Amino acid sequence: MTALSKQQQTEFEAAAFRRLVSHLRERSDVQNIDMMNLAGFCRNCLSNWYREAAEADGVAISKDESREIVYGMPFDEWKSLHQTEATAQQKAAFDIHNPHK
């Protein structure tokens, strides 16, 4: 494996994060509950991880601010535009796969 400097590693990780966020914004048809059921994380998890990383570095970012970074718009706006009501099947799968909720 190619040896990377710490700076390169950070830059590549940041680029991968930006690409993931861009991809998730483009795929607004993919519901968070489906992501949770299949992958164990969703857009909200990603925004929480972002906020936690900022806070660990002494930067206060609100939940709403971190969600807007991930969603590309205020969360309530995204929800009204893209979120659908979860089906009984989705909710049941969520309960099985995510007992910690």
Q: Closest Cα to residue 46, out of 79, 71, 10?
A: 71
DSSP-H helix ranges across 40-100: 43-56, 63-71, 75-82, 88-97
Q: What is the DSSP string of 36-57?
A: HHHHS--HHHHHHHHHHHHHHT
**Segments making up each domain of the chain, as ranges:** 31-83
Q: Which two tokens stand for residue 63?
A: 């939940």
pLDDT digits (tens, 9 = 90+) for 3-14: 999 999 999 999
What's the CA dihedral at 86, 91, 97, 98 to 10 degrees? 80
- Domain 31-83 superfamily per CATH: SMc04008-like (1.10.3340.10)
Q: pTM score, two decimals?
A: 0.89
pLDDT digits (tens, 9 = 90+) for 41-92: 999 999 999 999 999 999 999 999 999 999 999 999 999 999 999 999 999 9
